[in-house]
Amino acid sequence: MERNSADMIKPTQKRGMSCKFIAIVGLQFLAQASFGFMSPILTIVTTEYYARHYRDGLPIDCGANPHKQACIDGSRQAAWLSSIYLAVGSVLSFFLSPMLGQASDIYGRKRFLVLSQIARVGLPFSVAYFMQAQGSIIPYFVLRLIDNAFETGGVINAAATDIVSPDYRATAFGLLSASVVVGYCSSAFVAPFFSRDVILQITAGIFILRVAWAMVIVPETLPARTHKSKTRWTVENPFSSISILFRSKLFITLAILIALTSVVSEGTFQIQTFYLNTVVGFDMTDFGNLMLFNGVLAVIGQGLLLDPLVKCVQEQGVIIMAQIGSFLSTLGIVGTAFYPHKWLVYKLSVPDCVSQLSFPAISALMSFSTPEEEQGRLQGAIYAAQSVFAAIGPVVFSLLYTAMTKKSQWSQAFPFVIASVIYLVGVGLAFSLKVVGDSIPSDTASTASSNDEDNDNCEPEMEEGGKIDQIISASNTAEEDEQSLTQPLLGTRLTSTRYFTEV
């Protein structure tokens, strides 16, 4: 029997969508690799910059002498000022993220991704400048402010929803998260093998490559008919924009989880590298090894475990496990104040690996119940909510960190005790989730096949049974029928044997 035209075009559509998704993952990988390559030296060089102030301008190597009083004082000041700039940037991101998400629903995703890369390209040069004896750290903080304010993570996620069918969005979000961790951790591991100057030169090259990748490789993912159906963008205030997060009890509970985890994760992340350097004695090589270990765990957790876990315990179960993992990991950090052994930090990375599965599951649950034309707004609102609470966390935890004294182990552990209590509250909220009762009917469906013809000649071919093709292929049916799914996707998803995979 002769195959019909729809059957004949499927492999080409799959290849086109696979290329689009790979391009998005590649950009995310490069973005994190550029920061990861700097990360082993960034904490140390910022500490050394302020430590010089306590030594009348004399240089000091805080990587080799982390317990010197000047390095401890410099660490406190660096952590505090970094948290202030991060907080201001997060507040600005609260206003910008929803607007960027809405604008990308009208004008497309690509232009905002390109602008995001251009805005950050000067960052490694600012680090090289303040490392000089007479250099100023202000340009670096200004660029970090721009980096935190111009957050396009929501646009990246919206681009993924354009080309991934609803059943597989959790897996898609997971793959994107995995690319973040792998890019950051693998580059952080390699960095200590180079001198500081070479690290900055390579980092500058990666930042420039990010711009080229976004301009040349990343395609426009917004479906053509969606692009044309809206010709005017009405700017809403951010409070109105994030109202989408309060449309049901399920969304409200998930939004509270986002708030709690954002406060704690951003707050502890801001101080943890300084803490490990001054309390546990981590140097540049230790940070690199830890990053590599975390990267391997991220591949295992988000690349291999997320899909089977979703099949076994569904999204709610994944969120519960992630909150428990966060609690155990943070509680373990408390123990390092009393037993400052490096091997203990590595062991704590295992439950921390599970904690990273929370955000993909939360994003997927919300995405299922949101119409196609509001995906950009939803992802922008999620990142806006993250931003405003991420602004609070670093300030609060940096204040706790500055109160730390070398002689008091409890003062060193106290910020992580607070974090453990908050994560315990998150565990209770995760158990209280009622998914089916709060599902919202939507017209959500993946419609990206409408502009797949642009990628028919894309070089990287995936096997028909490959994982990325499996994630994306379910969107072909909607395109062939030229209509969107109309059933309540969330309710249907919970009773089906088909589960999405992580992004």
Name the pLDDT band for 448 (thresholds 50, 70, 90).
very low
Residue 17 confidence (pLDDT): 61
Residue 388 confidence (pLDDT): 74
Say if residue 481's pLDDT is above 60: no
Domain-located, residue 113: yes
Q: Are residues 350 and 423 in the same domain?
A: yes
What is the DSSP code (8-state) at residue 276?
Answer: I
Measured between alpha carbons, how far is 18 from 468 in angstroms, rounded to an integer?
Answer: 6
The pLDDT of 310-318, averaged and rounded, is: 81
Decide: 165 and 17 in contact? Cβ < 8 Å.
no
Q: Which of 419, 434, 449 is where one domain is finished?
A: 434
Q: Are residues 246 and 326 in the same domain?
A: yes
Number of Cβ within a 10 Å radius of residue 471: 28
Give tens-digit pLDDT for 248-305. Answer: 788 888 888 888 888 888 888 878 877 888 788 887 778 778 877 877 887 777 767 7
Q: Note down the domain range covering 66.
A: 17-167+188-223
Name the pLDDT band for 381 (thresholds 50, 70, 90).
confident
Q: Which of 434, 459, 485 is where one domain is finished?
A: 434
Pick the more confident residue, 229 or 431. 431
Measured between alpha carbons, how far is 455 from 207 in angstroms, rounded to an integer?
Answer: 26
CA contacts within 13 A on the Cβ side of 308: 5
CA contacts within 13 A on the Cβ side of 59: 11
Q: Are residues 210 and 309 in the same domain?
A: no
Domain-located, residue 457: no
Q: Are residues 147 and 108 in the same domain?
A: yes
Say if residue 94's pLDDT is above 60: yes
Q: Are residues 285 and 208 in the same domain?
A: no
Say which residue the tokens 């959790």 belong to.
170
Measured between alpha carbons, how far is 89 from 92 in angstroms, rounded to an integer?
Answer: 5
Q: Which CATH number characterizes residue 197's domain?
A: 1.20.1250
Q: Are residues 196 and 321 in the same domain?
A: no
Say if residue 236's pLDDT is above 90: no
CA contacts within 13 A on the Cβ side of 306: 36
Cα→Cα distances 103→44, 112, 164, 382, 398, Å? 39, 9, 20, 15, 34
Residue 499's nearest CA partner among 357, 308, 320, 360 is 308
Number of Cβ within a 10 Å radius of residue 419: 27
Instruction: Indicate the number of domains in the chain.
Output: 2
Burial-class residue 107 by CB neighbours within 10 Å (0-12, 13-18, 19+).
middle
Measured between alpha carbons, how far is 47 from 65 in angstroms, rounded to an integer?
Answer: 11
* pTM of the complete model: 0.62
Pick the more confident residue, 244 or 471. 244
Q: Are residues 348 and 212 in the same domain?
A: no
Quote the Cα angle for 443-444-447, to 5°.
115
Domain-located, residue 491: no
Lookup: tokens for 61: 């190597």
Q: Are residues 213 and 244 in the same domain?
A: no
Lookup: tokens for 180: 């973040």
Residue 151's nearest CA partner among 379, 435, 462, 442 is 379
Name the pLDDT band for 232 (thresholds 50, 70, 90).
low
Q: Are residues 65 and 139 in the same domain?
A: yes
3-state SS, 425-452, equals HHHHHHHCCCCHHHCCCCCCCCCHHHHH
| Dihedral sign for Cα atoms in the order 448, 94, 203, 42 | negative
Say if residue 93's pLDDT is above 80: no
Q: Are residues 42 and 105 in the same domain?
A: yes
Name the pLDDT band for 459 (thresholds 50, 70, 90).
very low
Measured between alpha carbons, how far is 190 from 106 in angstroms, rounded to an integer?
Answer: 40
Q: Which of 413, 434, 455 is where one domain is finished?
A: 434
Measured between alpha carbons, how far is 393 from 177 in angstroms, rounded to an integer?
Answer: 21
Measured between alpha carbons, how far is 359 from 347 in angstroms, rounded to an integer?
Answer: 22
Measured between alpha carbons, how far is 480 from 165 in angstroms, rounded to an integer?
Answer: 14
> Quick check: helix, strand or coil at residue 290?
helix
Residue 50's nearest CA partner among 70, 66, 68 is 70
Name the pLDDT band for 326 (thresholds 50, 70, 90).
confident
Q: Are residues 219 and 364 in the same domain?
A: no
Average pLDDT in the chain: 74
Domain-located, residue 229: no
Measured between alpha carbons, how far is 381 from 311 in angstroms, rounded to an integer?
Answer: 28
Q: Which CATH number characterizes residue 423's domain?
A: 1.20.1250.20
The pLDDT of 311-319, averaged and rounded, is: 82
Pick the more confident residue, 254 or 468. 254
Residue 365's nearest CA partner among 469, 500, 468 is 500
Pick the more confident residue, 460 or 230. 230
Pick the more confident residue, 450 or 79. 79
